[in-house]
Structure 1
Amino acid sequence: MTASSAVTTGTIAVPDARLYYEVRGSGPLIVLVGAPMNAASFAPLAQHLAATNTVLTTDPRGHFASPLDNPDRDSAVLDRAADLARLITHLDVGPAVVFGSSGGAVSALALAQQHPDLVTTVVAHEPPLRELLPDADAERARTEDIIATYATGDVVGAWQKFFDQAALGIPPEVVAQMFGGERDAQQVASERYWFAHELRPTTAWVPDPPLLGSVPTRVLIGIGAESTGQFCDHTSRRLGAELGVEPVLFPGDHIGFVDHPAEFAARLQEVLDAS
């Protein structure tokens, strides 16, 4: 491992992949994880939390510095949960609190189901659990249309459909500015893998609420204070109802931890201290 500016980096081999990770701080272990968001996306939040915690971030399998042996292998939720289990075991400073956002929240829930001994608390922030919705069939068809649109090469069109499904209200001219023209090659490769091999298995995963209710891991549901009416607001509230858990509000929207890292870190620490 190599250390730089209080950030220790490393790579571990896991079945079918190599996982890049970063560690900051000292104290109780907190894991911050996304899918497809990588370690860099969580760096500002991690820096704030590292004042009182050991903070682990990672590039999920198939993204950025975590290459797959077979790049055509789907990003199965249980594989991602197993990756987290191996990372926590590798650091040997657990058990951990795991904060997962979006697809990372799905990974964290699966980790609690599969390895509850490694996780004291899961904070599942806006998991896109489509199958919990009453109109899951229609949403499933929309997801397949998004994937098919991307496969034709219509990147901007696929993202527009994705944002429309998520009810984020991003206008077409902004989407075109974000995803048209010259773009970073690593970001494009990550995007391609997500559309082709991660979006479908992530949104199709179905949690086991009775199991989650029986394990010793505490499961908290997080929702952005500005996410009202969005797709992941609905899925998160459905999961909360299934678990009998009242969702906890966090600053911002679906990526509030990116837009408001200091406030988000303070809120996360407050929630953990009160649990």
Structure 2
Amino acid sequence: MTAPTTGTLRADGATLHYEVRGRGPLLLLVPGGSGGAASFDGVADDLAAEYTVATYDPRGMSRSTLDDPGAGQCVAEHADDALRILDLLSPAQPALVFGSSSGAIAAVHLLATRPERVRRLVAHEPPLVEVLPDAPVHRALLARVQETFRTRGLMPAMAEFAAGLKAEDGEDTPAAAPAPTAATTPADTPAPRAGVELPPGAAARAERTMANLPYFVERIVPAFMGHAPDVDRLAAVSDRLVLAGGRDSRGELPYRPAAFLAERLGLDLVHFPGGHTGLTTHPGEFAVTLREALRG
């Protein structure tokens, strides 16, 4: 693994930690879940052979600190953080962007509001559940997760959330939630599947992301999954948007908004290896598919 160049960048109410490696056109990787720049360790070096790859820790997570640790979060502010990094590293040219899960939600907002700064966006399973016909079911899930977090604590809330993410095609959360572990963190920390061996470092990353989980559950999950994108704006820039889902997560909640939006916008849904956490479980194949999606 190549050691990246690291830096910090001031934003409104936060100091962002970012990392850069490689040479070529700028590719900004926007992490999701409770992870950060480290969630791209499995693909960043590979992609850096062709691109200048920038990764960062979202505000409030890991090395990106908030001025006010109790500050509420919103998608627009996180999208503005991504914009600041683009402006720093590629001030004269629009950049390529990839976002995963909640990071994809921020990236979609960036494309919708500042399309002149985005050359192409690949959005992998953004859980934009407000676009779905059964959105009230998922609002109820988010309310249960928040209530469980307040009354019973982090791990029961994560179990409730993980079960809701697996519920298919509008089904409500199953009565029996899976036992919570570090692996229930969506987006960058995979739940082990039978016959799939996690790559080196994945277990250590899972442990590190546990420290971000309370912030993620309490402030990121409700703000991001309650966000309704401007679909008309997205339609106007759909030639720069690639919507993607995991081959193994068809029908699961994070997959469904991407499929729904692709159909509504007349786009092909691109399938990546693995499920919602394919970035971590299948890094080599994931990088190959991402390169293809970026080239169009």
Q: TM-score, normalised by structure 2?
A: 0.84
Instruction: Say yes or no: does 1:258 pair with 2:280.
Output: yes
Shift of 1:176: 4.8
Which letter does structure 1 place at the counterpart of 2:20? V
The answer to whether the 8 Å contact 1:20/1:59 transfers is yes
The CA deviation string for residues 215-263 of structure 1, in whole angstroms up to 9 with x for no partner, is 3860110100111121012121111122221210001100101111111
1:2-81 to 2 correspondences below 5 Å = 5-36=2-33, 37-81=35-79
What is the rounded CA distance, in whole Å, between the counterparts of 1:22 and 1:138 in structure 2? 38
Instruction: Say yes or no: does 1:163 pair with 2:168.
Output: no
SS of equivalent to 1:21: strand
2:135 match? 136
Which letter does structure 2 place at the counterpart of 1:109? V
The answer to whether the 8 Å contact 1:124/1:219 transfers is yes
Shift of 1:106: 0.4
Shift of 1:177: 7.4
What is the rounded CA distance, in whole Å, between the counterparts of 2:235 and 2:142 in structure 1? 29
Aligned CA distance change for structure 1 residues 12 and 138 (closer, same or farther; 3 Å): same
Aligned CA distance change for structure 1 residues 217 and 80 (closer, same or farther; 3 Å): farther
What is the rounded CA distance, in whole Å, between the counterparts of 2:24 and 2:281 in structure 1? 25
What is the rounded CA distance, in whole Å, between the counterparts of 2:114 and 2:228 in structure 1? 17
What is the rounded CA distance, in whole Å, between the counterparts of 1:44 and 1:184 in structure 2? 14
2:110 match? 111
What is the rounded CA distance, in whole Å, between the counterparts of 2:245 and 2:2 in structure 1? 32
The answer to whether the 8 Å contact 1:112/1:212 transfers is yes
Which letter does structure 1 place at the counterpart of 2:287? A
Q: TM-score, normalised by structure 1?
A: 0.90
What is the rounded CA distance, in whole Å, between the counterparts of 1:15 and 1:177 in structure 2? 31
2:180 match? 175
The answer to whether the 8 Å contact 1:32/1:56 transfers is yes
Identity of aligned residues (%): 37
Instruction: Give structure 1 stretches of 5+ with no counterpart.
Output: none
Return 153-162 or 240-249, whichever deviates more. Answer: 153-162
Instruction: Say yes or no: does 1:219 pair with 2:241.
Output: yes
SS of equivalent to 2:61: coil
SS of equivalent to 1:175: coil
Instruction: Say yes or no: does 1:270 pair with 2:269.
Output: no
The answer to whether the 8 Å contact 2:40/2:279 transfers is yes
2:190 match? none
Shift of 1:162: 0.9
The CA deviation string for residues 169-219 of structure 1, in whole angstroms up to 9 with x for no partner, is 99866525758xxx9996344111111111111011111122122238601
Instruction: Give structure 2 stretches of 5+ with no counterpart.
Output: 169-173, 185-204
The answer to whether the 8 Å contact 1:98/1:121 transfers is yes
Give the alignment's Cα RMSD to 1 decimal: 2.4
Shift of 1:50: 0.6
The answer to whether the 8 Å contact 1:116/1:217 transfers is no
